[in-house]
Amino acid sequence: MAEDIKTKLDRYKTAPFDSRFPNQNQTRNCWQNYLDFQRCQRAMAARGADASPCQWYFRVYKSLCPTSWVTAWDEAREEGTFPGKI
């Protein structure tokens, strides 16, 4: 399975189609992948495992989300005022 993830990351160009978000507006897709990345990072750190599978979510949200949103969300997480459930 780890090889499958590495292969997908090597072939990654941009965010693939996600049937949960079929519309043109990809705001929710951006938000969900940001949350999934943060959750994955936290889960892997708790296990003491390698966080490389989390890079998929990172690449997807980086290609979908405006940088200003990500910066604001990172600052809110640091301040403890982030509205999402991580």
Contact 26, 62 (CB under 8 A): no
Which among 40, 57, 60 has a CA at the least distance from the CA of 49? 40
Which homologous superfamily does the CATH classification assign to the domain defined by 26-85?
Answer: Cytochrome c oxidase, subunit VIb (1.10.10.140)
Contact 54, 44 (CB under 8 A): yes
Q: What is the mean pLDDT of residues 10-34?
A: 84
Query: Could you report the per-residue pLDDT of 31-62, keeping only the tens digit for each?
Result: 999 999 999 999 999 999 988 889 989 999 99
Q: Where are the domains of the chain?
A: 26-85
Model pTM score = 0.81
Q: What helix, strand, coil percent values describe the chain, rounded to 5?
A: 65, 0, 35
Name the band, by pLDDT with cuts 50, 70 and 90, for residue 15.
confident
